[in-house]
Amino acid sequence: MVLARILTPADYGLFAIALAVQLVGQRAAELGLPAAVVRMDEAPSARLQSAIWGFLLVSSVMLAALLLLAAFALAPALGLDGHTLDAIAVAGCAIPFYAARAMPMALMERELRFGRVAIVETADTLAFNGFALAAALAGLGAFSLSGAVAVGGIAGMATAWSLQRFARRPSLELEPVRPLIGFGAQVSVLQGIFLFRELGFVSLVAAFGGVGAAGFYAMAKRLFSFPIALSSAVARVSFPALAREPRLRHERAAKAAAYTAIAAGLPLALVAGAIQPLIGVVLGDEWKPTADVVLYGSLGMMLIASAVATLIGLSLAEGRPRWPMVAAVAETTVAFATVAALTGPLGEIGVGLALSVSAVVAVTALAIGTDPGVRRSMLAVAKATAIAAVAVVAGQAVGAGEDIAGLLLSLGTVGVVWFALELVFSRSDMTRILGIIRPLLRRAAPI
């Protein structure tokens, strides 16, 4: 909220590009090795941990150094305006710190110790926002966000190292790593496609709609924080959990898709249904175009948070990353084509439509390549999506003013409609979800 009042849409657009490049570099440096460790049947030996840690250290430092060299040496020598490249290089400084926490994080995930994973992510988030706020107040603009990526990486690394024991002395031995490279490389390609899709998407938004439009897209993703976090959590948990339970794998994947669709439906409906007063009260008038991205992109975020995340986790657990790669290529192609075609004539509406259309393509492709039982669970996802959509329409229909009273009216309308429809059409699923949540509310999950 505070950063949105200090920084401009152009600052957020520049940061979106820098962050996308940083994430591509991070995944390239890891080569999918953490995912290969998570899927291993036996616990990784100390020798293997040291070898992976050494590989990640060398590759991440080299990538970060190349970005810095390109931004602060090569670009000035060629007389290029390197403002965007500078922001990318600053964000790229985070790559070695995320590589340094990759092994302890992989060990936490394969042991299903997600309480510790949450602590690491929380430390990262708090450090990011704390530094970004201080730097923005100091007038650093987009660099306050780019620099915060590295600060968050340092905080996350320190927290991961304090919570998880692992072989901390890196080695440059490649022999133990070689058996993991096949699967890891496929996972890395899959992650790379998704990250290339994000980088290309935001770049096309900036090219056809301006840096400001990229900023509105970046802010929309901030408002979509819950479904994005849910998607990340489902992907992270479903992969190791389903890998450990081959007999119940398809049944649990089907339930996960249905339940996460319901869980994502309410917060998405609340944000989209009350988006205009939400922006007016929280962000300010200069962010109003973000509403179009949110409204027309909500369908895509709903599908990504539930069906896409679960189906990818299932495929990786089964050791079949190729089909998600096919789906990722199809989604990327459609996303690029639609955002290039629609952003110019439709502005931010085109950006939102591109998000949703490409997500539908991804779900369709993933569903084709999965088990028929899991495929049938897409009907439950469709039902939850339709309920959320009706709640959004109801929130928009009340025509609330862009003030606190209007915000409360819109939120209340969306919430009442969503709960009423879920109780009528999904009572049994709601009961099961409450049965899962209730024990967690009574006692803290063990760290």
Beta carbons of 224 and 294 less than 8 angstroms apart:
yes
Q: Are residues 91 and 185 in the same domain?
A: yes
Please say which residue of 147, 174, 192 terminates a domain: 192
Same domain membership, residue 394 and residue 250: yes
Cβ contacts of 99 within 8 Å, gap of 6 or more = 26, 29, 30, 56, 57, 59, 60
| Inter-residue contact 401 to 277 (CB < 8 Å) | yes
Q: pLDDT (tens digit, 0 to 9) for every residue of the chain, 447 residues total?
A: 677 777 777 777 777 777 777 777 767 767 777 877 877 778 888 888 898 888 888 888 998 898 888 877 777 776 666 677 788 888 888 889 988 888 888 888 888 787 788 888 889 888 988 888 888 888 887 788 888 888 998 999 999 999 988 888 888 888 888 877 777 777 777 777 877 888 889 889 988 998 888 888 888 888 887 777 766 776 667 777 777 667 778 888 888 888 888 888 888 899 999 999 989 888 888 889 999 999 999 988 888 877 888 888 888 778 777 788 888 899 999 999 999 999 999 999 999 999 999 999 999 998 888 888 888 888 988 999 999 999 999 999 987 788 899 999 999 999 999 999 998 888 787 777 666 655 544 544 444
Per residue in 188-226, pLDDT (tens digit) is 777 778 778 888 898 899 889 988 888 888 888 888 877
User: Among 142, 172, 192, which residue terminates a domain?
Assistant: 192
Q: H helices of 224-321, where?
A: 225-244, 249-273, 275-278, 290-303, 309-317
Instruction: Pick the closest to residue 425 from 397, 385, 372 (CA basis).
Output: 385
One domain for residues 292 and 156:
no
> Which residues, other chains included, contact 360 with Cβ-Cβ below 8 Å and sequence gap of 6+?
299, 300, 303
User: What sign for the dihedral angle of Cα 406, 411, 413, 414?
Assistant: positive
Q: What is the four-CA torsion angle of 332, 338, 344, 346, rounded to 10 degrees?
A: -130
Q: Does 188 fall in a domain? A: yes
- CA 271, CA 298: separation in Å to the nearest integer? 9
Of 192, 212, 246, the position where a domain reaches its end is 192
Q: How many domains does the chain fold into?
A: 2
Residues 188 and 231 in one domain: no
Are residues 240 and 180 part of one domain?
A: no
Which structural domain range is residue 292 located in? Answer: 224-447
233: left (phi over 0), alpha (psi -120 to 50) or beta: alpha
3-class DSSP state of 219: helix
- Predicted TM-score of the model (pTM): 0.71
Asked whether 156 and 120 are in contact (CB, 8 A), the reply is yes
How far apart, in whole angstroms, are the C-alpha atoms of residue 186 and residue 189?
Answer: 5
Does the residue 208 lie in any domain?
no
Q: Does any domain span residue 182?
A: yes
Residues 3, 85 within the same domain: yes
Q: Please, which residues have CB within 8 angstroms of residue 236's CB and are 6 or more apart in sequence?
A: 109, 114, 117
